[in-house]
Amino acid sequence: MPIGVLAREAETKAETIRYYEKIGLLPEPPRSEGNYRLYTQKHLNQLRFIRRTRKLGFPIETVRSLLKLSSETHIEHPENVQNLAKKQLEEVEKKLTELKALEKSLKALIKCCPHSKISGCGIIDALNGEVF
């Protein structure tokens, strides 16, 4: 299948596919006589795997590790996969904590500017470093 079809089937862009090939996450496909990439179902399956792991926030190097593990017929240490998922969960929890703190700060800023005038607006003052 051509790159446009692969992109549509995987719900991504052709540029993303080329990038994944460039960094070695997706193997380069054979080329047609006209030098067009010709992808297979295997490429589509691997691309979907990559997309799912990226949607879960896994960094590229972890995706690379998971791809390697997924290609093994017998995983000697299945806890390695679980450890990668646990590490990602810790990162998500850390980001959630940071987002909650950000939410709290923004709510406090909004309360500082109850009127529609810029002069004396607590938000502008805070962003200028005059408050907080």
Q: Give pLDDT tens digits for 34-62.
A: 999 999 999 999 999 999 999 999 999 99
Q: List strand residue ranges (DSSP E) for 9-114, in order.
A: none
Average pLDDT score over residue span 94-112: 91
User: Could you tell me the pLDDT band of residue 97, with boundaries at 50, 70 and 90?
Assistant: very high
Every domain of the chain and the residues it spans: 1-71, 81-132
The pLDDT-based confidence of 14 (bands split at 50, 70, 90) is very high
Fold (topology level) of 1-71: Multidrug-efflux Transporter Regulator; Chain: A; Domain 2 (1.10.1660)
d(CA 116, CA 123): 11
Give the C-alpha separation, 118 to 127, whole Å: 12
How many angstroms separate the CA atoms of 6 and 40, rounded?
A: 9
For 13, the token pair is: 């862009």
- pTM confidence score: 0.76
Of residues 54, 73, 72, 75, the one with CA closest to residue 63: 54
pLDDT (tens digit per residue) in 60-79: 999 999 998 888 766 777 78
Q: Which residue has the higher pLDDT, 24 or 71?
A: 24
Nearest to 131 by CA among 43, 95, 2, 121: 121
Q: Return the SS3 of 37.
A: strand
Residue type, 28: E
Amino acid 117: pLDDT? 65
pLDDT of residue 70: 85
